[in-house]
Chain A
Amino acid sequence: DQQVKQNSPSLSVQEGRISILNCDYTNSMFDYFLWYKKYPAEGPTFLISISSIKDKNEDGRFTVFLNKSAKHLSLHIVPSQPGDSAVYFCAAKAVGGSQGNLIFGKGTKLSVKP
Chain B
Amino acid sequence: DAGVIQSPRHEVTEMGQEVTLRCKPISGHNSLFWYRQTMMRGLELLIYFNNNVPIDDSGMPEDRFSAKMPNASFSTLKIQPSEPRDSAVYFCASTSGGGLFFGSGTQLSVL
Interface residues of A (CB under 8 A from B): 2, 6, 41-46, 89, 91, 98-107
Contact = CB atoms under 8 A, between A and B. Distances in A.
B18 interface: no
A25 to B, nearest CB: 13
Contacts of B12: none
B107 to A, nearest CB: 8
Contacts of B105: 41-43
Interface stretch (B40-48, B62-70, B71-79): B40-48
A101 B42 contact: no
A43 B42 contact: no
A100 B43 contact: no
A100 B100 contact: yes
A91 B39 CA distance: 16
A102 B91 contact: no
Given A46-B100, A98-B31, A106 B41 contact: yes
Interface residues of B, number: 27
A101 B56 contact: yes
Given A43-B4, A89-B43, A100 B93 contact: yes
A44 B102 contact: yes
A43 B93 contact: yes
B103 A104 contact: no
Contacts of A43: 4, 91, 93, 101-105
Contacts of B111: none
Given A101-B48, A101-B56, A46 B42 contact: no
Given A43-B93, A104-B43, A105-B42, A99 B104 contact: no
B99 to A, nearest CB: 5
B33 A100 contact: yes
